Structures are given as C-alpha cells and as structure tokens.
A = this chain, B = another copy of it.
Amino acid sequence: MPVPLYQAKAEFFRTLGHPVRIRVLELLQDGPRPVRELLEQIDIEASSLSRQLAVLRRTQLVTVTREGDAVVYELGTPDVAELLRAARRILTDLLADQGELLVQLRNGAAVEPGGVHR
C-alpha cells in the first residue's frame, strides 16, 4: 500500500503553508543559519519558531546540525529554492492584476462563473 503520490504532494505543500515556515526557508536560501539568528529576524516566540522548525524537519525540507551551543538549520536540498522561485513567479502574476484579491477572497468573497472578471 504505497502512499499515493498526490497525497504526498499535498502533505508537502501543506508543510509550506505557513508564514513562519516560508520565512525560514527564504532566510535559509542564503545559507545555513543558527536558530538564534532566525529568531532575531522573525519576531516570534522561540517556542513557536521551534515548533515550525520541527515541521520542516519532519518533511526533510531542512536539516539540522549542532555547532557548539547553537543549532544550525539549512535547506534539505537546493531544489527548495527553485520551488520558491517558481511560486514567487506565479504569485507575482496573480497579485499583479488582482491586488489584494487573493487574501480578500480567502476571507470569504464569492467568485462565480460569469462573475469572475467583473
């Protein structure tokens, strides 16, 4: 009973679906970073960050090593950076002519066939 690929994909994307996790991945695009450093850039409680790092760890999007008394995180594979770029491209397109539409809609506005482009 293999895990259906589309389900693995969904899990994967869900892992990326959190603001803090995205920020962490973006910071890590520039190279390995100790938690302490992530912490000073993200303005969040240490325990919250730690939780989110745990999520990224589970799916191997990042890997950890200990250096002295600091814990250092880095991207699990450079492909992650590529994925983020692809996402940015799409998002830029979508946001370009939609403005804040994306978020507004997520908050409940309706879009229907025929009413979409109003």
* A interface residues (Cβ-Cβ under 8 A, vs B): 2-19, 21-23, 26, 57-60, 63-66, 71, 76-77, 79-80, 82-84, 86-91, 93-95, 98, 100-103, 105-106, 109, 111-114, 116
Number of copies: 2
Please tell me which one of the listed residues B12, B63, B87, B114 contacts residue A12 in the complex, with CB atoms under 8 A apart.
B87
Given contacts A65-B113, A80-B90, 18 further A-B contacts (CB under 8 A): A6-B22, A6-B23, A7-B19, A7-B103, A9-B16, A10-B21, A11-B17, A11-B103, A12-B102, A13-B16, A13-B87, A58-B109, A59-B94, A64-B113, A76-B94, A77-B94, A79-B90, A82-B89
Main SS at interface, chain A = helix
The 4 A-B pairs with the shortest beta carbon distances in the complex, nearest first, are A14-B17, A13-B16, A58-B105, A13-B17
- Could you give 18 example pairs across A and B, Cβ below 8 Å? A3-B103, A7-B19, A8-B103, A9-B87, A9-B88, A9-B91, A12-B102, A13-B22, A15-B17, A59-B105, A59-B106, A64-B113, A65-B113, A77-B90, A79-B86, A79-B90, A80-B90, A82-B89
